[in-house]
Structure 1
C-alpha cells in the first residue's frame, strides 16, 4: 500500500534507528503491512541490510546512513523525506539535533520519548520554527502516551454524546498489564534522573502537571504518588510509573484542541492492585530507576517475541460529573505495552500524520490526529476502544 505516490520528496517515511530493538519492530511492522515509500536509517548500512533481510522486508527497501553524532547527516536525511519516525533514545541525549533538523526542513517528526523535561525544551525551542516551515513535530507516540492521551479523548467524545458536555474529572486506571521493559526505557529514566541532579529546574518540570502547556496553568491535580484505597471501585490503587508523562500529554492535548475538556479539567492515573502489591511496586520501581547502578537491561535489549505476543494492557477511564453522573470507557491492547504494541502505535501514527493536512508546530498525537489514529489503531494495531 502506497502512502502517497504523489509525494515530492524521495521518501514518505524514514524509520531512524531501524537496527535498534524497537526500530526493528517498527520496520518489521511496516513491511508486514505492505507499506511502500519508506526507508530504513541508522549509523551502519551493513547492519541495516542485515536487519532488512532478517525481518523479511523487500530487498529493495532503501537504506539511509545517518548518525546522531553527525548533524549534517541528520539534515540530509530530513531533506529526503516527508516524515522521520525515530526510535533513537534517550532523546535528551540523541534527539535534539534531529528535531531541529526536521523543524528547519519542514519535515514531520514522531518519537517515543517519555522525557517530559526534554519535551518541554523542544516545544520552547522549535514551536515557532515548525509553524514557519510546516513541520509537524509529534512527541510521545508510543505507550507513553497514546493509549492514555487517546483514551481520554475517546471518553470525552462519548461523554459529550451521552451528557452533552465533557467530564470535568477523569480517572485513568490501569486494570491489568503484562509485558517486559527494555534497555532503552531504562536508559531514558536514568538520563532524566541524572539531568535533574545537574539542573534542579528539571525537577520542577517533572513535578508540574502543566509542564507541557506553556502559558496555561490549570487547577490542582492529584499527585498519584501515594497508594490509596479507591472507595468508588473498592480496590487499592498504586502509583503508575508512566503517569508523570501521560498526564502532562493529556493536558497538552486539551490545550492544543482549545480546552474542549474544560479549563478546570482534572486528570490522574494509577494502577489498580492490592496493598501488598502496591508496596512491592514502589520498592521495585525505586530500585529499577536508580541512575547510579550499572545493573539491568542495556539499550538494545527487550522482551522476547513470546513475551511481546502474550503481553497486553487494559486501561479503564472513568468520567465523573459534579452531580454524580459517570461514564466508563476502556482501552485494551493485545501486545506487550512497551514494544509489541508501541511499534504498531507509532507506525500507525506516522501513517495517519502523512494523510493529515494541518499547520506545523509541536503536537501530541491527540492534539492533531486523534480521530484518524483511533480508527487506525482499532483496524490495524490490535487496540480496542469501547464504552463499558
Structure 2
C-alpha cells in the first residue's frame, strides 16, 4: 500500500518549489490527494512547507548519496516527480528505484544521452513491475510533442493520412534559463567532449528510437530563410525536441508515418538571450515578474509534396521554462495517475496521454492549442 500518491523529489529547489506551490492549489481542488515533499534537508523542507502553506504535505528525507532513502521514497509513492538535475548526475538511482518498485516516474529531463541509457537499462524492469517512466515533461519537450500531435490529428481527420513533413517554428520565445538548466547543459557538453559516442548520440535525431531509423532529417544548425516564414535560425533545445517527437511517433505505432521529417527553428529575432545577471547556480531562477512576462508561441507547419498543408499553434502566456513547465509536469503526473490504461514501460508524455494532456494544459497551464484554417 502506497503512503503517497505523489512525492516531489527536489522540492526545495527553484522549480521544485513552483511545483509544490501548484500542488497546494491542485490538492485543495481535488481533495484527498496524498502528496509529499522530499529532499536532503528536513529543515529546508519544514521551512518550505510553512512558507507555501502545504500543511497537508508529508516530508521525506531522500538523497541519491543514500540509496536506501531513494528506494524507500520510491516504495512509498504511486508516482515520483523529480526536479533534481542534472539527471545524468542525480537521476539514475531514482529511475532504477521506480522501475524496480513499480512506481510511476516523471521528470523535466532534456539530456538525451542519459534518457537513452535509462531506456536501455530499465525498460524491461518497468514493464515487469508496472512502472510508467516519463522523461521530458516540461518545455522539453511537451509543446513539440503535442504540437506535432495536434497538426497530425487534424491532417488524419481532414486528409485521411498524416503529413510527412512538419516544421516547428518558434515565433515567440521570451524566457531566461534557470541554474539547473544551465548546469544540465554544462554536464551534457562535458560528457560529449569526453565521449565521442555521446556526441554522436546527441546529434542523432533517432537516438531515442532504438531499433528504428527514419529518413534523413534537417540539421537545424544553420541560419537561413524560408518563403513562408522568413528568416530562421537554430534553436538550442531543438535537438532534444526532435528526438522526443520521433520517439513519440514510434510509441504511437508511427501514426505520423515512418517517413516523418521534423525540425525546429527560431523565426526572425526570436533568439534566446539570457537576461542580465542570469542565475548560474542550480536552485536559482528568474524573478516572479520576469516569469509573468515570459511567453512562447510555436507554429507547426505540416505539409505534403502535393501541396496540402495544415498549421497548428501551441502557445503560452507565461514563462515557458518555469511557470508553464511546473504546471506541465504536475498535470502530466496527475493525468498519468488517472490513466491506468497506459501500459508499463518508458513513454513520452505526449504518446502516453495524447489529447488528455492537451485538455489539461489548455485548462490549467496557461497554454493554447489551435489548428489554423
The superposition leaves residues 333-368 of structure 1 with CA deviations (integer Å, 9 ceiling, x where unpaired) of 121011111000000000000011222111111121
Q: Is the 8 A contact 2:279 2:286 kept in 1?
A: no
2:164 to 145, 164, 168: 168
Superimposed CA distance per residue, residues 275-333 of structure 1 (whole angstroms, 9 cap, x where no aligned partner) = xx76xx6xx79xx9xxxxxx961111111111111111111000001101100100011
Please, which moves more after superposition, 121-130 or 364-373?
A: 364-373
Q: State the match for 2:126 in structure 1.
A: 130
| Partner residue in 2 for 1:54 | 51
Separation of aligned partners in 1, 2:42 and 2:298: 40
Residue of structure 1 in register with 2:331 after alignment: 348
Kindly state the Cα deviation for residue 64 of structure 1 after the two structures are TM-superposed.
Answer: 0.8
Instruction: Tell me how far apart the structure 2 counterparts of residues 309 and 370 of structure 1 sit (CA, whole Å).
Output: 27
Note if 1:378 corresponds to 2:373: no
Paired residue for 2:267, among 272, 275, 281? Answer: 272
Cα offset for 1:232? 2.2
- Within 5 Å, give how 1:96-245 maps onto structure 2: 96-233=92-229, 235-245=230-240
- The partner residue of 1:319 within 294, 299, 302 is 302
Alignment TM-score, normalising by the size of structure 2: 0.95
Q: 2:293 aligns with which of 303, 310, 313?
A: 310
1:3 maps to none
Aligned residue in 2 for 1:366:
350
Q: Aligned with 1:123: secondary structure?
A: helix
Q: After the TM superposition, which parts of structure 1 deviate over 4 Å for at least 4 consecutive aligned residues?
A: none
1:202-240, CA deviations, whole angstroms, 9 ceiling, x for partnerless residues? 01100100000000000000011000101122x100101
1:92 Cα deviation after fit: 0.1
Q: CA RMSD in A?
A: 1.5
Matched, 1:44 2:41: yes
**How big is the shift at 1:47?**
0.5
Which runs of 5 or more residues in structure 2 are unaligned?
none
Confirm or deny: 8 A CA contact 2:301 2:309 kept in the other structure: yes
Instruction: Kindly provide the CA deviation profile for residues 94-126 of structure 1, in whole angstroms up to 9, marking residues without a partner as x.
Output: 000110000000000001001000000000000
In the alignment, the residues of structure 2 paired with residue 136 and residue 323 of structure 1 have an alpha-carbon distance, to the nearest angstrom, of 40
Name the CA distance, whole Å, in 2 between partners of 1:335 and 1:62: 29
| Among 84, 88, 92, the residue aligned to 2:88 | 92
The Cα offsets for residues 160-210 of structure 1, whole Å up to 9 and x where unpaired, read as: 111111111000000001111100000000000111122110011001000
Q: Which runs of 5+ in 1 are unaligned?
A: 1-7, 289-294
- Number of residue pairs the alignment of both structures matches: 365
